[in-house]
Structure 1
Amino acid sequence: MEIIEECNKRLEELYKFSNEILFLGESILDSRIEDLEKEIGYKLPEDFKYIIKKHNRIILAGTQVYGLSQELKGSSLDMIYKFEHFEAENPMPKFFFPFSPDGQGNHYCLDLSKITDEICHVVFWQWDIEYEDIEDVEVCNDSFIDWIDEVMIDWNLEVYNHDGSEK
């Protein structure tokens, strides 16, 4: 229950932003997430699943969390996963789940190899680095909701007010 409470707190913070800079996708009401888990062979962390089911795609002032839908084509979580693991020049380990781009070809990823208590770290995968040891990949946040706090909310509040005006 604690995870859901934390997720709802983060969502309430996101809801404070104006629709001028915030896009929230529709809810996922079918089994897409569970089907994706079966397809990739990993369970996704509870905080990620809860939030993505509430809002299938989130964009705040250019910072994006991908959604899961055929309508999104190449920007759908399943298609991004396939590309980054099977088609990219420097493929990710299968247990990294890319969920947000930085605009330079790099991704914030869930490290699905280290789920503990239904939560996992967020790492930053740089496409142009050939990692000798996977432990060299930068751990950014302890969880997806911590990532939302820092990257989506805090970093945007450094530049924008909740109404979308620049500071």
Structure 2
Amino acid sequence: MKTVEELFSELRKFSPDVAEFNPPAVPSLIQAFEETHGVRLPADYKAALAQSNGFSIMGDEVYGIYGAQTDMPMSLEAVYRREHEEVMVPQFPYLVPFSSDGGGNFYCFDTRFAENNPSCPVVFWVSNYEYTDEDTPEVVYNSFVAFVDEVLISWTLKAFDYEGNER
């Protein structure tokens, strides 16, 4: 499995026309998010935030942390609040949506497993489906790194090169 450093080495091969990286996250905002929502974010995601506070490749985005006072609609805080408090089918409290599929569904951290682990499972939340404690969202990746490696890097490189040219 790749490390976060290896992942970002690969991500940074993409042209600035294709990839967008933000400055590193402020560590106190990460801690505040965890305390406010009673979750522990996975270590690999926090290591990625230390590299770039949110990033995107060809429009596929991983959310950054900007604090509760932000009006950024695609911040981790705004999406968490919306998907837990403002929708008809709210997410389970332990899920943290960190990336959208572009169709209103989300890739989420299952933070029940983040404590004392370098990562946690990534599940796919279908926003209009009513999950139960017995019928939970499907685990689609075993880690944040595996998610980024496949969804942002591999899927992009199947259709485009590092400059954004179609294959």
Q: Residues 24-50 of structure 1: CA distance to partner in whole angstroms, max 9, x if unpaired?
A: 011124411011111111111100001
Name the residue aligned to 1:9: 6
Q: Distance in 1 between matches of 2:155 and 2:50?
A: 24
Counterpart code for 1:122: V
* Aligned equivalents of 2:134, 2:51: Cα separation in 1: 32
TM-score normalised over the length of structure 1? 0.91
What secondary structure does 2:108 align onto? Answer: strand
- Alignment match of 1:36 (pick from 24, 33, 40): 33
Distance 1:134 1:154 in 2: 32
**Where does residue 121 of structure 1 map in the other structure?**
121
Structure with more helix by fraction: 1
Residue-pair matches, total: 164
Counterpart code for 1:40: H
Q: Give SS of 2:107's match.
A: strand
Relative to structure 1, the CA distance from residue 148 to residue 139 in structure 2 (aligned partners, 3 Å threshold; closer, same or farther) is: same
Q: Percent identity?
A: 34
Give the drift of 1:71. Answer: 5.1
Cα distance in 2 for partners of 1:30, 1:154 equals 29
Q: Which residue of 2 aligns with 1:146?
A: 146
Map 1:42-53; keep pairs closer than 5 Å.
42-53=39-50
Distance 2:91 2:117 in 1: 24
Unaligned 5+ segments in structure 2 are: none
Paired with 2:60 and 2:23, the residues of 1 have a C-alpha distance of: 18
Amino acid at match of 1:48: Y
Q: 1:39 to 1:141 in 2, by over 3 A?
A: same
In structure 1, the partner of 2:166 is 166
Q: Equivalences for 1:72-111 in 2 at 5 Å?
A: 73-111=72-110
Change (3 A) 1:127 1:7: same
The alignment's TM-score, normalised by the length of structure 2, stands at: 0.91
CA contact (8 A) 2:25 2:64 kept: no
Partner letter of residue 18 of structure 2? I
